[in-house]
Amino acid sequence: MARHRNFAAALGDWSARHRKTAVFGWLILVVLVTVVGGAAGQKTLTNADYGTGDSGRAERILQDADLAPPAAELVLVHSDKLTAGDAEFQGAVTATVKALKETGLVKNLHDPNTTHVVSQDKHSALIQYDVKGDPDTAADRIQPVIDAVEKTDKAHEAVTLGQYGAATGLKGINDSLGEDFARAEMTALPVALGILLVVFGAFVAAVLPVLLAATACVGAMGLLALTSQVVPVDGMTSSVMFLMGLAVGVDYCLFYLRREREERAAGRDKEAALHIAAATSGHSVLISGITVVVAMAGMFLSGLTVFKGFAFATIEVVLIAVIGSMTVLPAMMAMLGDRVEKGRIPFIARRRQARAAAAAAVGGRRT
Protein backbone atom coordinates (compact mmCIF):
# COMPACT_ATOMS: atom_id res chain seq x y z
CA MET A 1 0.00 0.00 0.00
CA ALA A 2 1.29 3.45 -0.92
CA ARG A 3 1.89 5.54 2.19
CA HIS A 4 0.34 8.98 2.28
CA ARG A 5 2.73 11.65 3.46
CA ASN A 6 1.22 14.66 5.19
CA PHE A 7 1.22 16.12 8.68
CA ALA A 8 -2.09 14.55 9.68
CA ALA A 9 -0.91 11.09 8.57
CA ALA A 10 2.38 11.44 10.44
CA LEU A 11 0.61 12.59 13.61
CA GLY A 12 -1.96 9.81 13.37
CA ASP A 13 0.73 7.16 12.83
CA TRP A 14 2.72 8.47 15.80
CA SER A 15 -0.35 8.44 18.04
CA ALA A 16 -1.22 4.89 16.99
CA ARG A 17 2.32 3.70 17.80
CA HIS A 18 2.48 5.64 21.10
CA ARG A 19 -1.12 5.15 22.09
CA LYS A 20 -0.58 5.24 25.86
CA THR A 21 1.51 8.40 25.64
CA ALA A 22 -1.17 10.08 23.51
CA VAL A 23 -4.11 9.06 25.70
CA PHE A 24 -2.52 9.75 29.08
CA GLY A 25 -0.90 12.92 27.78
CA TRP A 26 -4.34 14.14 26.71
CA LEU A 27 -5.88 13.31 30.08
CA ILE A 28 -3.05 15.04 31.94
CA LEU A 29 -3.43 18.12 29.74
CA VAL A 30 -7.19 18.32 30.32
CA VAL A 31 -6.87 17.83 34.08
CA LEU A 32 -4.03 20.35 34.33
CA VAL A 33 -5.76 23.19 32.49
CA THR A 34 -9.01 22.44 34.33
CA VAL A 35 -7.37 22.60 37.76
CA VAL A 36 -5.29 25.69 36.98
CA GLY A 37 -8.24 27.40 35.30
CA GLY A 38 -10.52 26.55 38.21
CA ALA A 39 -8.02 28.02 40.65
CA ALA A 40 -7.76 31.21 38.61
CA GLY A 41 -11.52 31.54 38.18
CA GLN A 42 -13.34 32.92 35.19
CA LYS A 43 -13.31 36.72 34.94
CA THR A 44 -16.54 38.12 33.54
CA LEU A 45 -17.34 41.44 31.92
CA THR A 46 -18.45 44.42 33.97
CA ASN A 47 -21.13 46.85 32.79
CA ALA A 48 -18.42 49.27 31.65
CA ASP A 49 -16.77 46.57 29.53
CA TYR A 50 -19.83 46.41 27.29
CA GLY A 51 -19.44 50.06 26.35
CA THR A 52 -17.92 51.13 23.04
CA GLY A 53 -16.09 54.18 21.80
CA ASP A 54 -15.85 57.32 23.91
CA SER A 55 -18.93 56.44 25.97
CA GLY A 56 -17.41 53.10 26.92
CA ARG A 57 -14.15 54.79 27.83
CA ALA A 58 -16.06 57.27 30.01
CA GLU A 59 -17.85 54.42 31.79
CA ARG A 60 -14.55 52.69 32.53
CA ILE A 61 -13.05 55.92 33.90
CA LEU A 62 -16.04 56.35 36.21
CA GLN A 63 -15.82 52.73 37.30
CA ASP A 64 -12.10 52.94 38.05
CA ALA A 65 -12.76 56.04 40.16
CA ASP A 66 -15.66 54.33 42.00
CA LEU A 67 -18.04 56.89 40.54
CA ALA A 68 -20.17 54.52 38.48
CA PRO A 69 -23.88 55.38 38.78
CA PRO A 70 -26.02 52.93 40.78
CA ALA A 71 -28.44 50.54 39.12
CA ALA A 72 -31.64 52.55 38.65
CA GLU A 73 -35.03 50.85 38.98
CA LEU A 74 -38.66 51.81 38.42
CA VAL A 75 -41.96 50.43 39.67
CA LEU A 76 -45.02 51.50 37.68
CA VAL A 77 -48.27 51.55 39.66
CA HIS A 78 -51.29 51.54 37.34
CA SER A 79 -55.04 51.16 37.61
CA ASP A 80 -57.69 51.40 34.92
CA LYS A 81 -60.36 52.45 37.43
CA LEU A 82 -58.54 54.23 40.26
CA THR A 83 -56.57 57.47 40.08
CA ALA A 84 -53.57 58.68 42.05
CA GLY A 85 -55.86 60.69 44.32
CA ASP A 86 -57.90 57.68 45.46
CA ALA A 87 -57.14 56.26 48.88
CA GLU A 88 -56.88 52.68 47.61
CA PHE A 89 -54.39 53.72 44.93
CA GLN A 90 -52.32 55.69 47.47
CA GLY A 91 -52.46 52.72 49.85
CA ALA A 92 -50.99 50.45 47.18
CA VAL A 93 -48.21 52.96 46.54
CA THR A 94 -47.48 53.25 50.27
CA ALA A 95 -47.42 49.44 50.67
CA THR A 96 -45.04 49.10 47.73
CA VAL A 97 -42.68 51.76 49.09
CA LYS A 98 -42.73 50.06 52.50
CA ALA A 99 -42.01 46.64 50.97
CA LEU A 100 -39.08 48.07 49.03
CA LYS A 101 -37.61 49.68 52.15
CA GLU A 102 -37.94 46.46 54.13
CA THR A 103 -35.70 44.59 51.69
CA GLY A 104 -32.77 46.76 52.80
CA LEU A 105 -31.46 46.71 49.23
CA VAL A 106 -32.72 50.06 47.95
CA LYS A 107 -31.73 53.70 48.32
CA ASN A 108 -32.78 57.07 46.90
CA LEU A 109 -36.39 55.91 47.08
CA HIS A 110 -38.92 58.39 45.65
CA ASP A 111 -42.54 58.03 46.80
CA PRO A 112 -44.98 59.36 44.16
CA ASN A 113 -47.42 60.24 46.96
CA THR A 114 -45.00 63.01 47.91
CA THR A 115 -43.06 63.60 44.69
CA HIS A 116 -46.26 63.54 42.57
CA VAL A 117 -44.62 61.65 39.70
CA VAL A 118 -47.91 60.64 38.12
CA SER A 119 -49.23 60.41 34.58
CA GLN A 120 -51.37 63.12 33.02
CA ASP A 121 -54.52 60.98 33.27
CA LYS A 122 -53.75 60.23 36.96
CA HIS A 123 -54.08 56.47 36.43
CA SER A 124 -50.35 55.72 36.77
CA ALA A 125 -47.62 56.63 39.23
CA LEU A 126 -43.90 55.95 39.18
CA ILE A 127 -41.80 54.77 42.12
CA GLN A 128 -38.10 55.41 41.54
CA TYR A 129 -35.17 53.95 43.46
CA ASP A 130 -31.58 52.77 43.13
CA VAL A 131 -30.12 49.40 44.12
CA LYS A 132 -27.51 49.57 46.86
CA GLY A 133 -23.99 48.29 46.25
CA ASP A 134 -21.99 47.53 43.15
CA PRO A 135 -24.11 48.07 40.01
CA ASP A 136 -22.24 45.22 38.29
CA THR A 137 -23.66 42.72 40.79
CA ALA A 138 -27.08 44.34 41.24
CA ALA A 139 -28.75 41.77 38.99
CA ASP A 140 -27.49 39.00 41.26
CA ARG A 141 -29.04 40.66 44.33
CA ILE A 142 -32.31 42.02 42.98
CA GLN A 143 -34.48 38.92 43.47
CA PRO A 144 -35.73 39.85 47.01
CA VAL A 145 -36.88 43.21 45.63
CA ILE A 146 -38.68 41.50 42.74
CA ASP A 147 -40.37 39.14 45.20
CA ALA A 148 -41.46 42.05 47.41
CA VAL A 149 -43.06 43.89 44.48
CA GLU A 150 -44.82 40.73 43.25
CA LYS A 151 -46.18 40.03 46.74
CA THR A 152 -47.53 43.57 47.03
CA ASP A 153 -49.05 43.31 43.56
CA LYS A 154 -51.01 40.20 44.54
CA ALA A 155 -52.27 41.91 47.71
CA HIS A 156 -53.76 44.84 45.78
CA GLU A 157 -56.06 43.57 43.04
CA ALA A 158 -57.26 47.03 42.01
CA VAL A 159 -53.81 48.07 40.81
CA THR A 160 -51.07 46.52 38.69
CA LEU A 161 -47.38 46.79 39.60
CA GLY A 162 -44.72 46.50 36.91
CA GLN A 163 -41.02 46.65 37.65
CA TYR A 164 -38.14 47.34 35.30
CA GLY A 165 -34.64 48.76 35.43
CA ALA A 166 -30.97 48.04 34.96
CA ALA A 167 -30.87 45.14 37.43
CA THR A 168 -34.26 43.53 36.77
CA GLY A 169 -33.83 43.82 33.00
CA LEU A 170 -30.41 42.17 33.06
CA LYS A 171 -31.63 39.46 35.42
CA GLY A 172 -34.57 38.69 33.15
CA ILE A 173 -32.32 38.38 30.10
CA ASN A 174 -29.77 36.26 31.97
CA ASP A 175 -32.46 33.96 33.37
CA SER A 176 -34.06 33.48 29.96
CA LEU A 177 -30.77 32.80 28.19
CA GLY A 178 -29.57 30.63 31.05
CA GLU A 179 -32.67 28.43 30.84
CA ASP A 180 -32.34 28.11 27.07
CA PHE A 181 -28.65 27.20 27.23
CA ALA A 182 -29.19 24.81 30.15
CA ARG A 183 -31.90 23.03 28.17
CA ALA A 184 -29.64 22.86 25.13
CA GLU A 185 -26.73 21.53 27.19
CA MET A 186 -28.90 18.87 28.82
CA THR A 187 -30.23 17.60 25.49
CA ALA A 188 -27.10 18.01 23.34
CA LEU A 189 -25.19 14.99 24.65
CA PRO A 190 -28.02 12.42 24.53
CA VAL A 191 -29.17 13.67 21.11
CA ALA A 192 -25.61 13.46 19.75
CA LEU A 193 -25.21 9.97 21.19
CA GLY A 194 -28.52 8.86 19.67
CA ILE A 195 -27.55 10.13 16.22
CA LEU A 196 -24.15 8.45 16.42
CA LEU A 197 -25.77 5.16 17.42
CA VAL A 198 -27.80 5.32 14.23
CA VAL A 199 -24.75 6.30 12.17
CA PHE A 200 -22.37 3.65 13.51
CA GLY A 201 -24.72 0.96 14.77
CA ALA A 202 -22.34 0.21 17.66
CA PHE A 203 -22.30 1.63 21.18
CA VAL A 204 -18.50 1.95 21.60
CA ALA A 205 -18.07 3.66 18.23
CA ALA A 206 -20.88 6.09 19.12
CA VAL A 207 -19.57 6.89 22.61
CA LEU A 208 -15.99 7.56 21.50
CA PRO A 209 -16.66 10.88 19.68
CA VAL A 210 -18.95 12.11 22.47
CA LEU A 211 -16.37 11.37 25.17
CA LEU A 212 -13.60 13.04 23.22
CA ALA A 213 -15.74 16.11 22.49
CA ALA A 214 -16.78 16.33 26.16
CA THR A 215 -13.19 16.19 27.42
CA ALA A 216 -12.22 18.80 24.82
CA CYS A 217 -14.94 21.09 26.17
CA VAL A 218 -13.79 20.55 29.75
CA GLY A 219 -10.21 21.40 28.84
CA ALA A 220 -11.34 24.46 26.89
CA MET A 221 -13.31 25.67 29.92
CA GLY A 222 -10.14 25.65 31.99
CA LEU A 223 -8.17 27.38 29.27
CA LEU A 224 -10.90 30.02 28.91
CA ALA A 225 -10.65 30.80 32.62
CA LEU A 226 -6.95 31.58 32.12
CA THR A 227 -7.40 33.77 29.04
CA SER A 228 -10.33 35.57 30.70
CA GLN A 229 -7.83 37.10 33.11
CA VAL A 230 -6.62 39.12 30.10
CA VAL A 231 -9.88 39.43 28.15
CA PRO A 232 -12.98 39.07 30.38
CA VAL A 233 -15.89 37.11 28.93
CA ASP A 234 -19.66 37.32 28.95
CA GLY A 235 -21.50 35.04 31.36
CA MET A 236 -22.98 33.02 28.49
CA THR A 237 -19.65 32.40 26.77
CA SER A 238 -19.09 29.04 28.46
CA SER A 239 -22.44 27.71 27.24
CA VAL A 240 -21.77 28.84 23.68
CA MET A 241 -18.30 27.29 23.83
CA PHE A 242 -19.66 23.99 25.14
CA LEU A 243 -22.25 23.67 22.38
CA MET A 244 -19.77 24.63 19.67
CA GLY A 245 -17.09 22.34 21.11
CA LEU A 246 -19.50 19.43 21.21
CA ALA A 247 -20.54 20.08 17.61
CA VAL A 248 -17.06 20.32 16.10
CA GLY A 249 -15.62 17.63 18.37
CA VAL A 250 -18.24 15.07 17.41
CA ASP A 251 -18.12 16.14 13.76
CA TYR A 252 -14.34 15.80 13.48
CA CYS A 253 -14.33 12.42 15.21
CA LEU A 254 -17.15 11.29 12.96
CA PHE A 255 -15.08 12.05 9.84
CA TYR A 256 -12.13 10.10 11.18
CA LEU A 257 -13.92 7.13 12.66
CA ARG A 258 -16.26 6.58 9.77
CA ARG A 259 -13.42 6.55 7.22
CA GLU A 260 -11.46 4.05 9.28
CA ARG A 261 -14.46 1.75 9.54
CA GLU A 262 -15.06 1.98 5.79
CA GLU A 263 -11.48 0.91 5.13
CA ARG A 264 -11.77 -1.98 7.58
CA ALA A 265 -15.01 -3.10 5.94
CA ALA A 266 -13.20 -3.06 2.58
CA GLY A 267 -10.71 -5.62 3.91
CA ARG A 268 -7.71 -3.51 4.93
CA ASP A 269 -5.90 -4.34 8.15
CA LYS A 270 -6.09 -2.15 11.24
CA GLU A 271 -2.85 -0.28 10.64
CA ALA A 272 -3.56 0.47 6.97
CA ALA A 273 -7.13 1.59 7.66
CA LEU A 274 -6.01 3.91 10.43
CA HIS A 275 -3.25 5.37 8.29
CA ILE A 276 -5.63 6.10 5.40
CA ALA A 277 -8.14 7.68 7.79
CA ALA A 278 -5.41 9.89 9.26
CA ALA A 279 -4.11 10.93 5.85
CA THR A 280 -7.54 11.77 4.44
CA SER A 281 -10.10 12.53 7.13
CA GLY A 282 -7.42 13.69 9.56
CA HIS A 283 -6.12 16.12 6.96
CA SER A 284 -9.68 17.39 6.36
CA VAL A 285 -10.12 17.92 10.11
CA LEU A 286 -6.93 19.98 10.23
CA ILE A 287 -7.97 22.18 7.31
CA SER A 288 -11.49 22.57 8.68
CA GLY A 289 -10.18 23.52 12.12
CA ILE A 290 -7.81 26.12 10.70
CA THR A 291 -10.66 27.56 8.62
CA VAL A 292 -12.93 27.87 11.65
CA VAL A 293 -10.17 29.47 13.72
CA VAL A 294 -9.47 32.06 11.02
CA ALA A 295 -13.18 32.81 10.74
CA MET A 296 -13.62 33.19 14.50
CA ALA A 297 -10.53 35.41 14.70
CA GLY A 298 -12.49 37.97 12.69
CA MET A 299 -14.32 38.87 15.91
CA PHE A 300 -11.10 40.42 17.21
CA LEU A 301 -11.49 43.09 14.54
CA SER A 302 -14.74 44.31 16.12
CA GLY A 303 -12.83 46.01 18.93
CA LEU A 304 -15.56 44.97 21.39
CA THR A 305 -14.46 43.10 24.49
CA VAL A 306 -17.53 40.85 24.47
CA PHE A 307 -16.74 39.62 20.94
CA LYS A 308 -13.06 39.21 21.78
CA GLY A 309 -14.11 36.90 24.61
CA PHE A 310 -16.29 34.85 22.27
CA ALA A 311 -13.39 34.70 19.80
CA PHE A 312 -11.01 33.33 22.43
CA ALA A 313 -13.60 30.78 23.59
CA THR A 314 -14.46 29.41 20.15
CA ILE A 315 -10.86 29.35 18.95
CA GLU A 316 -9.70 27.53 22.08
CA VAL A 317 -12.37 24.83 21.94
CA VAL A 318 -11.89 24.25 18.20
CA LEU A 319 -8.11 23.96 18.54
CA ILE A 320 -8.42 21.52 21.42
CA ALA A 321 -11.01 19.48 19.49
CA VAL A 322 -8.68 19.35 16.47
CA ILE A 323 -5.73 18.24 18.61
CA GLY A 324 -7.84 15.55 20.26
CA SER A 325 -9.23 14.28 16.96
CA MET A 326 -5.76 14.02 15.40
CA THR A 327 -3.99 12.43 18.36
CA VAL A 328 -6.21 10.84 20.99
CA LEU A 329 -8.78 9.44 18.58
CA PRO A 330 -6.31 7.40 16.47
CA ALA A 331 -4.61 6.29 19.68
CA MET A 332 -7.92 5.08 21.13
CA MET A 333 -8.85 3.39 17.86
CA ALA A 334 -5.50 1.60 17.78
CA MET A 335 -5.95 0.62 21.41
CA LEU A 336 -9.49 -0.69 20.95
CA GLY A 337 -9.00 -2.36 17.58
CA ASP A 338 -12.03 -4.44 16.62
CA ARG A 339 -13.57 -3.75 20.04
CA VAL A 340 -14.75 -0.42 18.64
CA GLU A 341 -17.59 -2.51 17.15
CA LYS A 342 -18.74 -3.68 20.60
CA GLY A 343 -22.35 -3.10 21.56
CA ARG A 344 -23.73 -3.53 18.07
CA ILE A 345 -27.34 -2.73 17.28
CA PRO A 346 -28.05 -5.68 14.96
CA PHE A 347 -30.31 -4.19 12.27
CA ILE A 348 -28.49 -0.86 12.04
CA ALA A 349 -25.04 -2.45 12.22
CA ARG A 350 -25.69 -4.76 9.25
CA ARG A 351 -26.96 -1.95 7.05
CA ARG A 352 -24.08 0.37 7.97
CA GLN A 353 -21.47 -2.31 7.40
CA ALA A 354 -22.85 -3.09 3.93
CA ARG A 355 -22.90 0.59 2.98
CA ALA A 356 -19.38 1.14 4.32
CA ALA A 357 -18.04 -1.78 2.29
CA ALA A 358 -19.74 -0.53 -0.86
CA ALA A 359 -18.41 3.00 -0.37
CA ALA A 360 -14.89 1.75 0.26
CA ALA A 361 -15.03 -0.51 -2.81
CA VAL A 362 -16.11 2.40 -5.01
CA GLY A 363 -13.35 4.55 -3.57
CA GLY A 364 -10.81 1.80 -4.19
CA ARG A 365 -11.80 1.47 -7.87
CA ARG A 366 -11.50 5.22 -8.38
CA THR A 367 -8.01 5.34 -6.91
Average model confidence (pLDDT) across the chain: 86
Residues 31 and 96 occupy one common structural domain: no
pLDDT in tens, 307-356: 999 999 999 999 999 999 999 999 998 888 878 777 777 665 555 555 55
Residues 158 and 235 occupy one common structural domain: no
Residues 14 and 114 occupy one common structural domain: no
d(CA 77, CA 343): 63
More confident residue, 49 or 119: 119
Residues 100 and 31 occupy one common structural domain: no
Residues 13 and 105 occupy one common structural domain: no
Q: Is residue 1 part of a domain?
A: no
Residue 73 belongs to a domain with what CATH number?
Answer: 3.30.70.600
Residues 114 and 74 occupy one common structural domain: yes
Average pLDDT rounded to a whole number, residues 136-162: 92
Average pLDDT rounded to a whole number, residues 164-192: 85
pLDDT of residue 348: 57
Q: Is residue 287 part of a domain?
A: yes
Whether the CB-CB separation of 132 and 106 falls below 8 Å is answered with yes
| Residues 6 or more apart whose Cβ sits within 8 Å of residue 280 | 4, 259
pLDDT in tens, 94-147: 999 999 999 999 999 999 988 889 999 999 999 999 999 888 889 899 999 999
Residue 14 belongs to a domain with what CATH number?
Answer: 1.20.1640.10
pLDDT of residue 51: 67
Residues 76 and 160 occupy one common structural domain: yes
pTM of the entire predicted model? 0.75
Residues 313 and 361 occupy one common structural domain: yes
Q: How many domains does the chain have?
A: 2
Q: Is residue 176 part of a domain?
A: no
Residues 81 and 193 occupy one common structural domain: no
Q: Is residue 60 part of a domain?
A: no
Q: Is residue 308 part of a domain?
A: yes
Helices 305-336 and 7-17, interaxial angle, to 10°?
50
Average pLDDT rounded to a whole number, residues 180-207: 83
pLDDT of residue 123: 94
Q: Is residue 358 part of a domain?
A: yes
Residues 241 and 109 occupy one common structural domain: no
pLDDT in tens, 247-292: 999 999 888 888 888 888 788 888 888 899 899 999 999 999 999 9
* Domain boundaries, position 109: 67-170
pLDDT of residue 192: 86
Residue 190 — very low, low, confident or very high, per pLDDT cuts 50/70/90?
Answer: confident
Residue 366 — very low, low, confident or very high, per pLDDT cuts 50/70/90?
Answer: very low
